[in-house]
Structure 1
């Protein structure tokens, strides 16, 4: 009598990282299906992101006028940026915007999210109201704020009516122009982080907050030792995304001040735009763009390394 010696492999007998033999064809079919669905997105990424990025790196090594003869310069464009006082001022302007905008955006967003707790009536209406500026086109927002900031605008007229004083020349003063741009940008952009923080706060178990309250913890201590550790992943995400977008600020200073007075509000992206489309020097514009890329990548890497110290993923 023949004996069946076929061995049935148990999932626990399969080496780590390998699927059971019976599941491998199904996994291959799933992989091919995933590849089909991912192909359009990957093609778009390669065509509209990776290829232009590589092309910009190549152009940055050339004297590349829009019209005329092109010549290889090596790293001369980068050397020019290093010694260009305008570019150094532009980098400082961008850094100032980031330093002012990112913390204020996060603080305002988180503060409003904490205030708009489950017990607040009309909570959903407030959420929609706070998110409206994010959905409104940037150009429309900037034009409205330009009318507010200009002399004899709403802010100036209100101060004259109520207090008998004139508002500063927000857009014509090198001291006030950048704070005005930051204020407008916070109003326009805080709604996104507000929704991120609001969703994170909704995930905090009320039982833990009630237990901490019973143990005698006040509101600040409950936030510091219960709420904060649980929302640190959302804070890290919001801070990282806000930092990246703030380095790319363009529309606000371009429309509000045109980079002025002088170059006091010109940013790196504005510098790239001016070099590329006003002076038609694509090589220098590409080099400035790559400098911005390196700055953003470097700071993002620092954030990802530093988040291990304060972001709690296992809470």
Structure 2
């Protein structure tokens, strides 16, 4: 056996494990979920083929699906604010000042902390009776609302917590992008008479645009799949005002045992995410600069 043949054998042996893992634990379940989405399936009995009934029910006869989708989109509207705040923090932490590493660590810490622990902490902060936020508002004579038990305030509270939890990761990405901007571009712009704001708009923003696109797409995908925070903090209430589409999917699959209907919902969400992602890539040709 030649050395080249041995190299190929060893190469295929090393990549066989992840390929088999993908086929067994990803591809086969994905294909099965496509089939199940066209059936009535509880998980306990054999699937019963029903055609496109699950999709018809989803789109035409389930107003709660559209409400949860609206809730999810409403929650995702916070993404631009989170991105702008992350960029502002990254710019501040890109300065050479004493103790900058401590500040960077402090902002990144929530990213590596337990989601459950951080969510329970915020649940305490939003408590209507003894939460820190209402105590702080009380110092200024403002009576804080019942954040998590009010239909009007529950989702804004979740959005606020979501922005905070995503700051650290996005900040690190922006910080790396800012440090990769060539110093010569700033010097050339300064020689041409560009002020600080002009250098930021004409140099910084275009140079970090690939990172902005990455953060935008991953943030949208993450927001559309957001689930643990809502389950822990509000359990989708009050009156489904904070029930996201993935939480509703979870309820149908594991509380009501409607696996077929939940699979149809998952594929509709997947198609929606694919459409949004492709649209972002298509629009990015106008504002993302790779050189």
Q: TM-score range by the shorter chain?
A: over 0.9
With 302-311 and 276-285 compared, the bigger mean Cα shift is at 302-311
- Superposed, 1:29-108 pairs within 5 Å as 32-68=9-45, 70-82=47-59, 83-100=61-78, 102-108=79-85
**Secondary structure of residue in 2 paired with 1:168:** coil
**Secondary structure of residue in 1 paired with 2:77:** helix
* CA distance in 1: counterparts of 2:252 and 2:145, whole angstroms: 32
* CA distance in 2: counterparts of 1:175 and 1:120, whole angstroms: 42
Q: CA RMSD in A?
A: 1.8
Per the alignment, residue 199 of structure 2 pairs with 222
Mapped contact 2:36–2:47 kept (Cα < 8 A) = no
**Secondary structure of residue in 2 paired with 1:261:** coil
Q: Is it true that 1:111 corresponds to 2:122 in the alignment?
A: no
Q: Is it true that 1:192 corresponds to 2:169 in the alignment?
A: yes
1:101-128 CA-to-partner distances (Å, cap 9, x unmatched) read: x112211111111122232332222221
Per the alignment, residue 268 of structure 2 pairs with 291
Aligned residues: 288
* CA distance in 2: counterparts of 1:232 and 1:156, whole angstroms: 38
Q: Is it true that 1:146 corresponds to 2:123 in the alignment?
A: yes
**Secondary structure of residue in 2 paired with 1:309:** coil
Counterpart selection for 1:130 from 98, 102, 107 = 107
Q: Which structure 1 residue ranges, 5 or more long, are not aligned?
A: 1-24
Return the offset for 1:33: 4.6
Which structure: larger Rg? 1
1:64-123 CA-to-partner distances (Å, cap 9, x unmatched) read: 0133464111110011111201111011111111122x1122111111111222323322
Counterpart selection for 2:147 from 170, 175, 181 = 170
Return the offset for 1:177: 0.8
1:134-165 CA-to-partner distances (Å, cap 9, x unmatched) read: 111111111000001011211112222x1233
With 164-173 and 63-72 compared, the bigger mean Cα shift is at 63-72
* CA distance in 1: counterparts of 2:37 and 2:285, whole angstroms: 36
**Secondary structure of residue in 1 paired with 2:285:** helix
Return the offset for 1:211: 2.5
- Superposed, 1:195-274 pairs within 5 Å as 195-274=172-251
**Secondary structure of residue in 2 paired with 1:310:** coil
Q: How does the TM-score come out when normalised to structure 2?
A: 0.93
Q: Which structure 2 residue ranges, 5 or more long, are not aligned?
A: none
Per the alignment, residue 133 of structure 2 pairs with 155
Q: How does the TM-score come out when normalised to structure 1?
A: 0.86
Mapped contact 2:126–2:148 kept (Cα < 8 A) = yes
